[in-house]
Structure 1
Amino acid sequence: MSVFKFELRRMFSGKANNLSLLVFLLSGLLAVYLGAFNYDKQMQDQQNTALLFDKEKEQISGAAQIPEVGSLAYYASVPTQWQLSPWAALFSGQSQYRLTAMRLQALALQGQIYGRELINPARSRAGGFDLGFVLAYLLPILVGIVTVSLLSEERQSGRWRMLNALSAHTGARLIIRALLLRFALVALLVCLLFVVAAVVVGLPLDGLFVAFIGISLLYCLLWFLIAGLIISLNRDSLYNNLAFLSVWLLLAVLLPGLVHLQQGRSFDAQLPLKAAVEQRLVMNNGWDQDMHQALVDFAEHYPQFTEQLDFSGRFHWKWYFAMQHLSDQAVEDKWQAYLMEHQARDRQLDKISLLSPSLLLQRYLYAMAGTDSQAYFAYLEQIRDFHRQLREFVYPYLFADRQMDADDFNAFPAFVAKPTAQYPLPLALVLLLAGLGVLLTWRFNRLAKV
């Protein structure tokens, strides 16, 4: 017990240790607060779009006459929502930069998605300030400050030589004990942040809560092992601090930066924009082309309307919506190419993230929170499926020149959001920890003989 009190007093005696612990705790609390605020705002936006559509439906249903189908389908904007779990407040991922609520019409899909959502790619690469950022980047710095000078301080005070004179392993055991104490304290801070987040955000205390804490503590342990390896080199404080800082810069900053730079050059991020522009051009050019031929082309996709293509006059809504669908089909190859590029990019990130623990941790956390790029594309697929449902609800009325009544309009499709989270096993992190643990054991056995 006296050794424990001594180590505890020693740890809190340094101003750098106290300041780093305070900064980490305040940063984590700020991340929780900002995350909860942004999450509440996103949820409010989603609720507002749903309430607005409900009011519009009430007004139209209560009108003396329902507008014609084409006009109704043109103006009706059905709300869709990316179903974000409360964990998105802490690990925001793609939800910081992407639309989480979008009103969808029975018009061309590509222009609706990418015409509204042009994000700054540089901001996306930099990442945002959330609890994932605090854990991935600030936690290692805290670990380095409270650990890497342990042995050098013992040597400078003369205690190291005296301890080794008592027994070959006494000094090494005391260093390990000091590391374990510091790990316990930092782990307690991490757990405290999650408990505060559970209260502020309203997180359920279930198995997923335990899994998030577990992965965060595994990551914390990894940096303690790295610090232990640097300590085992038996160098002075300046060398240890520079060595730890260099490792942190390499693993947490340089490697992820190089990965994003390489992917930015290898993959075409402009494909969605090109698809949206081309879709708009195809639609605009359609006004100068044979409208009946456009309807014939449309009937190749929907042969059930082949006998209902005729219309009188210079314009009819059935041509307009048929042309909207054809303009979407004209850029379908670009959409598929974008999906394939995204999948290739994600597979590449899975492999490269093994070189960067910080990148690996963020990929785990964002996947479990349902805010990674895979989750966002799953939401887009839900939008595509619902868009098809929306169009195919309107087409029978449109091509049969049949008017909707109030009951028909009340049966207008509603978007049903589905969860998008994934739960990958942290096997890579566990294997990395095992390898570092074996290496650290070997190094400390050698250190005991010094």
Structure 2
Amino acid sequence: MTPLRAVMRWDARTLARSRAAWIALVVLSVATGLGVCSGARFRARWSDEATHERRLEQESRREHLALLAENDPRAAMPMFIDTKIALPPAPLAELIVGRGDLDPRGANVSAFSHRGSLFRDYQTASPVALAIGRFDLGFVVVYLFPLIVIALGYGLLSDERDRGLDRLLAVHGVSRWRLALGRVALRSVLVAAPLIAGVATIFLVEEPTVDRAARCAVAMVAILGYAGFWWSLVLVVASSRLREGTSLLALLVAWVVVVLIVPAIVGAVTKTTHPAPSRFALIAASRSAEVAAATRAQQLIGGYVHDHPEMDPKATGAPPAFAQRSFVVAREIDEAVKPIVAEFDHALEAQQTAVARFQLLSPALLVHRTLSSIAGTDETRALAFRAQARTFAHDWRETVGSLGMRGVTVDAAMVTSRPELDFVEPPLGDTLGVVAPPIAMLWGFTLLAGFAAFRRLRRD
């Protein structure tokens, strides 16, 4: 048996008897299990919400058909038909919540809907702090895992150095860098096992598909890259010949800077440089447009009929005057608030673009944004849903409003065949293109720190 193998076997037995190692492993395993359970509950609640909205939509159709059978005059008017839209759960919502519980996931659409009323909640506070806050597997990876690595690795070579055994081992062909690398490999396998099991569990929570398998595989690559960065940092500190207490302090300072301070600074800077418009501006614009449109409702109705000569608001079956007014007023409000709503979306895009630009400053930001993107709980999917929902709401309003203004009556076939929003997921290929640079940066940090530690240990 070679001296290195003998030392590693002795180290493995020592680690197996170490109370601290077992505590760290149990804490990480329990936290991983709780994170996976929390993520699974979040996805289940999201799925229940979407199912509930679909059930309400089906019940609404049945009630509408029953009213038509009873010859209810209001049920025969297209303008009084509304529908519900809901965003389905993210492809890998169990992994990390991200912005999944911040952005709107559903809305009610009618002939009187406009941009200002479709989605009233715009979360544009700190783009970093908002996306981090729920205990899930992503939280365990970003925050807790580095502390476990620090607890197991801060005294990697200090015992041999303090007792003068490092020179004795070197005489027998066991160099410091080989010893350090072997110990890191042993400990990294130990702490990576719960995370690998957690990602595997997430993959099996729902029906396994190629898409879920690809997303879980990419997430695992990102997690391992983040783990590699912290183990490389442990090697850098171990190569500095610091005392145990000083090594622990240095690693904890690095954790505070990388995980807490830099993301907080990035969030504050992006919020300051790309502020969102005032919510009161949206409310004021909606009210102002509503008042202005209400005072000239007849003029707007006349203008609408003039632009659509095939329509006659006085035809048999035409909706009541208040419905006509509400329809044309909603169209006016939609145009009035369009620039302000666009500012909200632009502010969110600008903030997230800035965060993406500054994420190079912190591996914690890199892995968090990567996991959010691959899970589908980032801003990209939320903005895609808003855009598709607004297009659907606009088309719905114009369609049922046009039918109503023409005096068309609703029949059973129109009720059963009315359209639904079929959300189109952003392509997986586009998502992989987004997460590839952050993952490459993570592994770049890992290799850079590892190479620096290798050179210093080899030189010693």
- Alignment partner, residue 54 of structure 1: 58
Work out whether 1:334 is the aligned partner of 2:340.
Answer: yes
- Alignment partner, residue 17 of structure 2: 13
Separation (CA, whole Å) in 2 of partners of 1:210 and 1:218: 12
Structure 1 residue aligned with 2:98, among 93, 113, 121?
Answer: 93
Alpha-carbon shift at residue 381 of structure 1 (Å): 0.7
Separation (CA, whole Å) in 2 of partners of 1:267 and 1:173: 49
1:123-151 CA deviation, whole Å, 9 max, x = no partner? 72553211111111111111111112111
Provide closer, same or farther for how the CA distance between residues 247 and 306 of structure 1 changes in structure 2, counting only shifts above 3 A: farther
- Alignment partner, residue 27 of structure 1: 31
TM-score in terms of structure 1 length? 0.89
Query: Aligned partner of 2:53: which letter?
Result: T
Partners of 1:135 and 1:216 within 8 A in 2: yes
Alpha-carbon shift at residue 271 of structure 1 (Å): 4.2
Decide which moves more: 324-333 or 94-103. 94-103
1:147-206 CA deviation, whole Å, 9 max, x = no partner? 121111221233223213434x62221111111111222222211111222334555462
Partners of 2:166 and 2:176 within 8 A in 1: yes
Alpha-carbon shift at residue 379 of structure 1 (Å): 0.6
CA RMSD in angstroms comes to: 2.7
Map 1:22-421 onto structure 2 (within 5 A). Answer: 22-63=26-67, 64-68=70-74, 73-74=79-80, 76-115=81-120, 117=121, 121=125, 124=130, 126-167=132-173, 170-204=175-209, 206-271=213-278, 274-287=281-294, 289-296=295-302, 298=304, 303-304=307-308, 308=312, 315-420=321-426
Percentage of pairs with the same residue: 20
Structure 1 residue aligned with 2:443, among 433, 436, 439?
Answer: 433
Provide closer, same or farther for how the CA distance between residues 67 and 221 of structure 1 changes in structure 2, counting only shifts above 3 A: farther
- In structure 2, runs of 5+ residues without a counterpart are none
Provide closer, same or farther for how the CA distance between residues 136 and 297 of structure 1 changes in structure 2, counting only shifts above 3 A: farther
- Alignment partner, residue 445 of structure 1: 455
Alpha-carbon shift at residue 34 of structure 1 (Å): 1.4
Partners of 2:311 and 2:406 within 8 A in 1: no
Partners of 2:82 and 2:110 within 8 A in 1: yes
Provide closer, same or farther for how the CA distance between residues 399 and 232 of structure 1 changes in structure 2, counting only shifts above 3 A: same
1:311-349 CA deviation, whole Å, 9 max, x = no partner? 899934222201111111101111222232222222211
Provide closer, same or farther for how the CA distance between residues 435 and 40 of structure 1 changes in structure 2, counting only shifts above 3 A: closer
Separation (CA, whole Å) in 2 of partners of 1:393 and 1:195: 47
Partners of 1:92 and 1:130 within 8 A in 2: yes
Partners of 1:83 and 1:418 within 8 A in 2: no
Separation (CA, whole Å) in 2 of partners of 1:110 and 1:338: 12
Number of equivalent positions: 444
Provide closer, same or farther for how the CA distance between residues 228 and 73 of structure 1 changes in structure 2, counting only shifts above 3 A: farther
SS at match of 1:413: coil
Partners of 1:104 and 1:112 within 8 A in 2: no
Separation (CA, whole Å) in 1 of partners of 2:49 and 2:319: 42
Decide which moves more: 30-39 or 148-157. 148-157
Alpha-carbon shift at residue 8 of structure 1 (Å): 1.9
1:391-422 CA deviation, whole Å, 9 max, x = no partner? 12202321112221222222322111221462
Decide which moves more: 369-378 or 339-348. 339-348
Alpha-carbon shift at residue 238 of structure 1 (Å): 0.9
Separation (CA, whole Å) in 2 of partners of 1:83 and 1:125: 19
TM-score in terms of structure 2 length? 0.88
